[in-house]
Amino acid sequence: MAINITRKDVMWSYLSLFLLNGINIILLPFILAYLNVAEVGLWYTFTAVSGLVLILDFGFQTTLARNVTFVWSGAGEIMGTGYKGNENKTNSPNYGLFVKLFKVTQTIYLMIGLIIFILLFSVGTWYVYIVSIEELPLDVILISWGLYATAVFLNMKYAYWNAILRGIGAIKIHQQILIITKLVQLVLSIIGIIMGYGLIAVSIAYLIAVIVNRVLAYIRFYSYQNNREYIKPIIKSKFNKKELREIFKEILPNTYRQGIISISNYINLRSTTLLSSAYLGLSITASLGLVLQVVNVITSVANTFFNTYQAQFSSYRLHGRHKKMIMKFKQAISINYLITTFSFVVLFFFGEFILNIINSNVSILPREYLLVMMIYLFLYNNQLIFGSFIATKNELPHYKAFLISSLLVVITQFFLMNIVTPTLWNLLFPILFIQMVYNNWKWPYEVFKEIKKTKSVRESG
């Protein structure tokens, strides 16, 4: 019954990553070929508007997954920060506490979903209407947006299933569901587009895919281990509302901190692009955006092993299996560094050559800028991983430092571009050096201290 991440989970995580990106690539030519320019533009507008409202999740999924892992590993209580070791030394989930956490989560996501629903069908509808009414028929706009907005609402209302499946260690199941969902969206989109239903077809496909995802998550959760036998009877019981409120109060502080980290990451990774387009023009911004997009794919692949084992790290902590945790973490870091280093070398020496082969209209950044960008993104991704490892003990001491540094980056960039001179160097140096002053070394150092302390305690014992 314990959380046990295996090679199959890792394999499915990598397979899901490649397939999901591959499916997006397959779908794109059909959208570009069968939808007119206005419909393509409106589709990207849909995704941009929904992306903004999804910030309302505010890091709750990450916090939920971590607490689910502790409860599933046998924790006796949910704590606002930190955790209590499993005193009973049992690998069995705390089903009663899990169901209480589940109930609280359902309520929270229902509230978030309703807020998003109201925003999408009021402000969202107004914005979509304003930007598209002169280029598309009203019925196409309203029907396609209504379907898409409904899908976004349902996706958020039931978003807890993603966190729960990850939290209980059902990584393979979670990745399989993602693949099936994307395949459903791909097939239905292509069929609908070819039949001539345009943007409406794409929106219907997305809505059906969301429904399929949530239905599959429900079915697979209750077929996982002994969940139907143990959880179904408990979930029908009535619970003390005071107990549920206490659980909500406990998970709220770290939800807030995780949200701050998410916003900080968004600022750090997006501010440079936004300022570049404002001060340096679209040509340089295109090259900068291309590098960020390619590196994002590289780091996603490099981080997959670590991300797959995050629930396992929390479980190891709860059961006091620190030696196993450290060994697996070192393995995750080694894999990350190997993939990142190899990919960056290929990008640095052969990036422009590859772009020439595919006749790209966008050039890669000159090598001196590219080198600085790669150093920054390597160090930044590294601090994120070490920060995430610290978070597996339900502590987020890095949230303030992340926020302060992100604000300093933006302020410094804005100052240099306005007061000194608008150059790419004045955008790149702040993101590199401000992070190097503290975050780049602080959080790896804290993890190394923990590893050293754990080793010394084990040796003295």
Per-domain residue ranges of the chain: 1-239, 253-461
Tokens coding 10: 């890792």
In 3D space, the residue among 241, 245, 218 whose CA is nearest the CA of residue 164 turns out to be 218
% residues pLDDT > 70 (the chain): 93
> Residue 409 and residue 111: Cα distance in Å, rounded?
34
Structure tokens at 210: 């969301």
Contacts of 234 by beta carbon, 8 Å cutoff, 6+ apart: 95, 96, 99
**Where residue 259 falls among pLDDT bands split at 50, 70, 90?**
confident
Which of 259, 251, 274 lies closest to 403 in space, CA to CA? 259
Q: Among candidates 189, 115, 190, 186, which has minimal Cα distance to 153?
A: 115
- Tell me, what's the pLDDT at 443? 95
At 408, the amino acid letter reads L
Q: Is the pLDDT of residue 227 over 80?
A: yes
**What does the alpha-carbon distance between residue 138 and residue 140 come to, in Å, rounded to a whole number?**
5
pLDDT for res 370: 92
**pLDDT confidence band for 210 (50 / 70 / 90):** very high
Structure token digits, residue 187: 């097939």
Q: In the predicted model, what is the mean pLDDT of the chain?
A: 86
Does 11 or 27 have the greater pLDDT score? 11
Residue 121, exposed/middle/buried by CB under 10 A (0-12, 13-18, 19+)?
middle
Residue 258 has pLDDT above 80, yes or no: yes
- CA pair distance 50, 148, nearest whole angstrom: 9
- Of 310, 293, 446, 305, residue with least CA distance to 377: 293
> Which DSSP string do the residues of 10-71 spell out, in sequence order?
HHHHHHHHHHHHHHHHHHHHHHHHHS-HHHHHHHHHHHHHHHHHGGGGTTHHHHHHHHHHHH
* Per-residue exposure over 58-67, b if at least 16 CB sit within 10 Å of its own CB, e if not: bbbbbbbbbb
Q: Report pLDDT for 251.
A: 86
CA gap 47, 128 in Å, rounded:
11
- Cα 311 to Cα 120, 246, 345, 452: the distances in Å are 33, 24, 32, 22
> What confidence score (pLDDT) does residue 330 get?
95
* pLDDT digits 0-9 by tens, 373-394: 999 999 999 999 999 999 998 8
Residues near 349 by Cβ (< 8 Å), separated by ≥ 6?
Answer: none
pTM of structure: 0.85
Count CA atoms closer than 13 A to 219's CA, side-chain side. Answer: 8
Assess whether pLDDT exceeds 90 at residue 60.
no
Q: How many helices (H) and strands (E) does the chain have?
A: 18, 0
Q: What is the CA radius of gyration of the chain?
A: 23
pLDDT in tens, 135-160: 888 888 899 999 999 998 998 899 88
- pLDDT tens-digit profile of 281-294? 767 877 887 888 78
- Residue 180 confidence class, pLDDT cut points 50, 70, 90: very high
69-93 burial: b if 16+ Cβ within 10 Å, else e: bbbbbbbeebeeeebeebeeeebeb
pLDDT of residue 399: 92
Contact 62, 258 (CB under 8 A): yes
